[in-house]
Structure 1
Amino acid sequence: MRSIGEMARDSGLGVSALRFYDRAGVLVPAWVDPVSGYRWYDPGQLEEARLLARLRRAGMPLADIRLVLAGWSSADTGLVRKLLQAHVRRLEAGLSDARGEFSTLRALLERREKPMSSPRTADTRLAVSAPELAAALDAVRFAAGTDPELPMLGGVLFDIDGGTLHVVATDRYRMAVARAGADGHAGPRAQVIVPSPLADAMRALLGDEETVRLAVDGDRVTLESGDRQAAGSRVDHDFPDYRRLVQLPAGRRALVDVAVFRKAVENGPVRTSEVRGQGEAGPALSVLKVTADGAVTLCEDGDGDQDQVAVNREFLLHALAAGARERLVLEVGAPTAPVAIRRPDDESTFSLLMPVRLDT
């Protein structure tokens, strides 16, 4: 007999997926321990589980998967062939429809871009609090992207608006926002993406000085601290409108002791996710729940509870470290909403972690 863990490892289906398919009557274990509820599978079920994993990666509907599994070992495979062919036709039709929609979207995007050239920030000068800028860069740097296909995310956004400098980074899966006081900029709102290596060089300058000078001249960005400076070219792309992305509905909030909570995350239960469509193991996930009395629990398993949300455990640990406080506020909304990690004394500095869909 194979344990559910062994079955998950050898079949490409996650443990939670095996539990789901058991409850759905699609792949029922050969024996369930009546005391512990632990599932055991017959060795002959491995081939069926691997077939199920392939059909699942191909996006076949559950109703059709049931019929394929039921007819797989039959001498008459005509039904199975017809189901597979029908699903391929659905995929091809869906791909054709998607290409048509994206073609229309590209045309709309080109029409928007042609009459409007991207505004370039020029001759911007301001003084920035060095300690606040250092703290802001420390709070967001972990979230900067590294995907060469998305160069606009491969740096840190400096968003200059009046007497405030917002510092923002995101790699799509997490976002961090912080703020530093600024003075001397009386013009319209200006934005510049500082590439990550230059942002790191700027952070290294921030030491003894109380105030540093930030200048943007066309495509060149310079930070001066005393007689030293870090300078380089901006990222020649536009950053997404992060202000729209941080408008979240209120969720359950909990004040956590960072050292205690970090240890609980490091040693607590994790779920193994799957890279969708590839059948490969993804990052370890922590399933969080904030109870009505403001306590945070790490759940053993996601069971459809609307108060639970799964996040990348490594990203969560990074966000806790970047929060740079002994206590932080954890805000958890719906399972599909980002998890927010905020400072109790400064909610303008926060991190957002995108939720990860649990395998079902």
Structure 2
Amino acid sequence: MRSIGELARDSGLTVSALRFYDGAGVLVPSWVDPDSGYRWYAPEQLGEARLLARLRRVRMPLADIRLILAGWSSEDASLVRTLLDAHLLRLESGLADARRELSSVRALLALRETPVNTTATSTTRLTLSASELAGALGSVRFAVSTDDALPMLGGVLFDADADADADGAAGAGTGSLRLAATDRYRMALSGASAGFDGPSARAVVPAALVDAMRALLGGSAEGEAVLSLEGDRVALEVGGSQAAGVRLDADFPDYRRLSRLPAGRLVPVDVAALRRALAEGPTRIQRREQDGAEFEISVLALAADDTITVEAPDAAPAEEPDAAPGGPSGDGTLRVAVNRQFLLDALRLDGREQLLLEVGGPVTPLAIRLPEPGADSFSLLMPVRLTS
């Protein structure tokens, strides 16, 4: 006999998924301890659990899986073959529908696109505090994408916005620099005030140049830094030394749109305590569907009194085994699954000891914010959908 934990380990399913499949009558344990309620599985059920895991990975409905498991050991496998063929046909039909819809979207995109010359002919020069710029770059660098298929996300957006003068003209001598980075699963924003010479400008600065700028700023924490945007060239000068290079020839997504979220619950965070809880708390390895990358999941449990604890991912309640943890429980606890390392990175925001965690729900992006109202720097983190 195998315990539920052993069967989970050997089959690739999670403990919570096995509990769900028991309740759904799909894979019922061979014996349940009447005193403890602990589930035990017969040796032959390991093969059934592995088969179940495969079928769920291709999104086969539970009603069909129940019939397949019931007919698996039968001498007549015609029912099993019929169900497999029917599901494959559904998948192929769905793929054909997806191709048609995406072709329509591409056609709409082609109608919107008009060739423009994106190379700026004027020069924009910003004068910033070296320490403030160093902090802003450090607050966003971790969110830069390393996916070669998305080169437009392989850098930091420098959005230099000049204040308008009394007549509404830009370049009145002051302005701001907003920095943004995202790898699809998280986004970081930061900013710094700046003296301004020239028009507003935008450039996606490649990660290697961002790192060179940070190294240059690290050697001179005090004083001023001068950032120049001219055509395809981006340069930062600090104390007579310079880091310069060519910007990425790519458009960055609208970070303002991505950062608009419904108001959520604000929970004060002691950074050191939460980092310690994440380091010591239970995790689970999950594989990302898009690229197969493996990462650790932690589940944050936010109690009604704003206490934050880290729970075992398998303990998160779910209506389906591949669902995100649910909303508030009877005691008011909200559970949200996150990429553990991504949250640890976001908690470095501005080097603060106290931050705010804004949570709208189990599937709404988490926001990690500075305590000051209207602060420029914050990070967004997509919740993780638990899979069996």
Return the TM-score normalized by structure 1: 0.93
Deviation (angstroms), 1:25: 1.3
Q: Which 5+ residue runs of structure 1 have no aligned equivalent?
A: none
**What is the aligned partner in structure 1 of residue 286 from structure 2?**
273
Shift of 1:277: 8.7
Paired residues of 1:289 and 1:332 also in contact (CA < 8 A) = no
Rounded to whole Å, the distance in 2 between the matches of 1:154 and 1:169 is 8
201, 226, 231: which is aligned to 1:218?
231
**Which secondary structure state, in structure 2, belongs to the residue aligned with residue 243 of structure 1?**
helix
Give SS of 1:348's match.
Answer: coil
Q: Does 1:194 align with 2:222?
A: no
Maintained 8 Å contact 2:139/2:189: yes
- Contact kept, 8 Å, 1:153 with 1:171, in 2: the verdict is yes
For 2:340, the equivalent position in structure 1 comes to: 313
- In 2, the alpha carbon distance for the partners of 1:57 and 1:281 equals 16
Does the Cα contact within 8 Å between 1:121 and 1:192 map onto a contact in 2? no
**1-side partners of 2:236 and 2:87: how far apart?**
57
Match of 2:248 among 235, 252, 262: 235
- Which residue of the partner structure matches residue 178 of structure 1? 190
Which deviates the most, 195-204 or 63-72?
63-72
Q: Which residue of 1 aligns with 2:321?
A: none
Deviation of residue 165 (structure 1)?
A: 0.6
Tell me how far 1:271 sits from its aligned partner.
3.5
User: Aligned partners of 2:289 and 2:15: how far apart in 1?
Assistant: 15
Deviation at 1:96, TM superposition (A): 0.9
> Size of the alignment, in residue pairs?
357
Partner of 1:354: 382
SS in structure 2 at match of 1:5: helix
Q: Let me know the Cα RMSD of the aligned residues.
A: 1.9
1:261 and 2:267 correspond: no
- Once the two structures are superposed, residues 105-155 of structure 1 have per-residue CA deviations (whole angstroms, 9 ceiling, x without a partner) of 122212222x24263344222212211110011111111110000011111
Q: Distance in 1 between matches of 2:35 and 2:310?
A: 24
Q: Render the CA deviation track for 1:282-324: whole Å, top value 9, x for unaligned.
A: 4221111322222222233211430221000111111112441
Runs of 4+ in 1 over 6 A off after TM superposition: none
| TM-superposition CA deviations, 1:210-250 (whole Å, max 9, x none) | 22111111111111112111011111100111111111112
What one-letter code is carried by the residue in structure 1 that aligns with 2:378? F
- Match of 1:229, SS? strand
Q: Distance in 1 between matches of 2:366 and 2:153?
A: 20
SS in 2 for 1:309: strand
Distance 1:243 1:34 in 2: 56
* Structure 2 CA distance for aligned equivalents of residues 288 and 87 of structure 1: 36
Partners of 2:49 and 2:103 lie apart in 1 by: 38
Structure 2 residue runs without a partner (length 5+): 163-174, 319-325, 328-333
1:104 aligns to what? 104
Q: Percent identity?
A: 60
Equivalent-residue separation in structure 2 for 1:181 and 1:153 (angstroms): 24
